[in-house]
A and B are shown apart, each in its own frame.
Chain A
Amino acid sequence: MTFWDKLMNIDRRWVYLCIGIVVIIPAIIPFKVPVSTTLEVERIYDFVESCEAGDYIYLGIDYDPSTLAELDPMTYAILNHAFSKDVNVITACLSQFGPAMAELRLTEVAQQYGKESGKDYCFLGYRPYPAITILSMGLDFQVTFPLDYYGVPVDSLEIMQGIRNLQDVKGVISLTAGNVADFWITYGNGRFGFPLALGVTGVMGADYYQYLQSGQIFGLIPGIKGAAEYEVLSGFETTGLRSIPYQTLSHGVILLFIIISNIGYFASKRKKRT
């Protein structure tokens, strides 16, 4: 095997080792990478920024622990942003394994701002069948969730006085890693027409640009990069921005390996020809 052939056939364990090393580097030597923002994230930031104290937004924490690495920074950034502006936040979870995790995140940020459950925010909990839940919330929160996550009757909550359903909130942002995003588009925006934005995993991101184009969603936060953009815009730095150096280095390594394999490929092809 020539040197060029070897370049094309590097043992995958070397690839893993390189990735492993570069994802450790930022943890040992922290550094920052400049993040440029995109229009689709700016629109969501502008939406929350345009909310005034007392306005309502609905934040769907519709993911479960398996994708928290990508979606948690979005939850934190949006909650921080909304609570700092005294915006009323209504949340629920449409992912089976997510409610406990969502509740932790919500109370953690709420406590930082001295926000009270039932007064400044509420967590409605989990209901199966996202499509039916969304349709039902579009008509009446109280029918969908007679009791909130803590067992308090929803119609007795201070925050719910003056608001009946999803059509009464200023906008809906759903953070999700599954087909709940499609249900929000079809049954939420499609049926009730309220402004909808999505936060999704990086892999899903490319699937949802079409809905931006068609105006079915007004904004999109794709993966860690999107979350970091939101953090840059809102100034609330959590794990999103801190994850960017890891992403940058690992992408750099992947690109490097792609270049190496192609150099090997072309050189060995030329050699064979000669």
Chain B
Amino acid sequence: MGKKMLFMLLLSLLLFAVGNAQTPLEEVLTDTTGPPVPTSPSNVYVEDKPDDDGHGVIVRWDLSPDDGAGMDNVLGYEVYRSDSPDGEYSYVGMAIKGSDEYEDQDDSPIKNGVPNPDFIETEKTYYYKVRSMAAGGIFSEHSEIASGQAIENWFHSGKIGILVGVLIFWSFVVYFIFKARGGKDFYVRPLAGINAVDDAIGRATEMGRPILFVLGTGTAGDIATIAGFTILSRVAKLTAEYQTKILVPVNEPVMMAVAQETVRTAYLEAGRPDIYKPELISYETAMQFPYVAAVNGIMLRERTATNFYMGVFHAESLILAETGNIAGSIQISGTDQISQLPFFIAATDYTLIGEELYAASAYLSKEPILVGTLKAQDWGKAILMLLLLIGAILISANLSFIRDMVTVNI
């Protein structure tokens, strides 16, 4: 298999070289003088691949003098590996001309049920040699042998920027939570969408029609869906108090289980566990548009007075919102899906934009601790704005250290 691949590779390289040199294939094949042999790469050394699970090394070398200069006939480099300095070296891969490194990495000891020859063991010394390759299957001598080991790393240095950012933000959150616990009252700007929740539920009660709560087409693990659950909890509590029916059709079974628990507890807290029925929260289907058909059907048949759309939405947002409009419902929407926000803004009465959806639980509960986290967000935003401004000015002056500082190398 390896040999076959090598052959194909050489053949394709040969064809590539032929194509590049604009020389007919026959001429190359019948040329007996032979092209000149390129010089080997030098100063080969092997180092551990940083920030990995200990199954990768990087082989580096200085370019052959004939790569891009000299005879300029180098097409690439072949890398060979062995377990011992004098053992049999096998081909592991190639790098194209102009590149001075090759990453040898494989973390599967078994492949297709048989031991994987490409597997790199942690902390085992491997020996490498490299040779240059020219058109027509001409190779240089092998370079000197270099050895190295793959080491398992316990911290990803490329993610240090994220770590610093997370730590700063966490300290803000913790600081503001403590401040809030100490009795500090934070001001948050009013959100029309949140203020309308009570009225919307009141309206449904007066009309004697049910409330529809749509958690979107995301999964139970999406932050927007979790934010949807927290709003559902408040809404369900109010509907239990007012004895108004709430319908929660969902498109994911896990979401159904969580929503049932959320609504059941909300009814319990409102002192009305007797009117809770698990079928208020129903699983419809996992497919997007069949789900839309199911929800639209509920809207039109039940003539829901108020519709909430809180969670992750895709192309269905406008279809749902316009159907709700036809049914004459008051509609409050919230999503973090930027492309769907315009549809919700155009077709529903109130829209919570992105982070406002996440903040809704703090607004609805008015708990100082939750409101405190909103303040932390504001500070986080202020820092981001400052970084953006300074970064933009510096990068305009060709100074890239702010950019480098925040760049994540995964």
Binding site for B on A (CB under 8 A): 12, 52, 54, 66-67, 97, 139, 143, 146, 155, 161-162, 177-178, 190-191, 201, 203-204, 206-207
Contacts and interface: CB of A to CB of B under 8 A. Distances in A.
Given A54-B12, A54-B15, A143-B111, 5 more contacts: A66-B289, A67-B315, A146-B112, A155-B1, A162-B5
Given A66-B288, A178-B314, A204 B19 contact: no
Nearest to B116: A143
Contacts of A67: 315
Contacts of B105: 139
A135 B242 CA distance: 51
Contacts of A201: 315
B19 A203 contact: no
A204 B289 contact: no
Nearest to B112: A146
Nearest to A67: B315
Contacts of B108: 143
A162 B8 contact: yes
Interface in B286-300: 287-289
B338 A207 contact: yes
Does more than half of chain A's interface fall in helix, strand or loop, or is it mixed? helix
Nearest to B288: A66
B19 A162 contact: no
A203 B315 contact: yes
B8 A206 contact: no
Given A12-B326, A203-B315, A161 B339 contact: no
A18 to B, nearest CB: 16
Contacts of B21: none
B8 A161 contact: yes
Q: How large is the interface on B (under 10, 10 to 19, 20 to 34, 35 or more residues)?
A: 20 to 34
Contacts of A139: 105
Nearest to B19: A52
B301 interface: no
B118 to A, nearest CB: 9
Contacts of B315: 66-67, 177, 201, 203
26 contacts: A12-B326, A52-B19, A66-B287, A66-B289, A66-B315, A67-B315, A97-B287, A143-B108, A143-B111, A146-B112, A155-B1, A161-B4, A161-B8, A162-B8, A162-B9, A162-B12, A177-B315, A178-B314, A190-B410, A191-B410, A203-B315, A203-B339, A204-B339, A206-B339, A207-B338, A207-B339
A206 B342 CA distance: 12
A202 to B, nearest CB: 10
Nearest to A162: B8
Contacts of A66: 287-289, 315
Interface string B295-315: 000000000000000000011
Contacts of B289: 66
Contacts of A206: 339
In the A-B complex, the 3 residue pairs with the smallest Cβ-Cβ separation, listed nearest first, are A162-B8, A161-B8, A207-B339
Q: Which of B15, B108, B314, B410 has its CB near the most chain A CB atoms (within 10 A)?
A: B314
Given A143-B111, A190-B410, A161 B326 contact: no
A184 to B, nearest CB: 15
A54 to B, nearest CB: 8
A165 B268 CA distance: 56
B272 to A, nearest CB: 38
Nearest to A158: B8
Contacts of A54: 12, 15
Contacts of B314: 178
Contacts of B15: 54
A177 B217 CA distance: 14
Contacts of A203: 315, 339
Interface in B90-143: 105, 108, 111-112
Nearest to B9: A162
A161 B5 contact: yes
Nearest to B108: A143
A201 B314 CA distance: 11
A97 B286 CA distance: 11
Q: Which of A162, A177, A207 has its CB near the most chain B CB atoms (within 10 A)?
A: A162
A100 to B, nearest CB: 14
Nearest to B290: A66
Contacts of A204: 339
B38 to A, nearest CB: 22
A240 B307 CA distance: 36
A195 to B, nearest CB: 15
Nearest to B287: A97
A54 B339 CA distance: 39
Nearest to A187: B410
A190 B158 CA distance: 13
A126 to B, nearest CB: 15
B290 to A, nearest CB: 9
A178 B340 CA distance: 12
A201 B287 CA distance: 18
Interface in B14-37: 15, 19
A190 B409 CA distance: 9
Contacts of A190: 410
A7 B289 CA distance: 33
A103 B154 CA distance: 43
Interface string B320-342: 00000010000000000011000
Contacts of A146: 112
A52 B287 CA distance: 40
A201 B315 CA distance: 10
A67 B289 CA distance: 10
Contacts of B338: 207
B317 to A, nearest CB: 10
Contacts of B288: 66
Nearest to A203: B339
Contacts of A178: 314
A204 B343 CA distance: 12
A178 B314 CA distance: 8
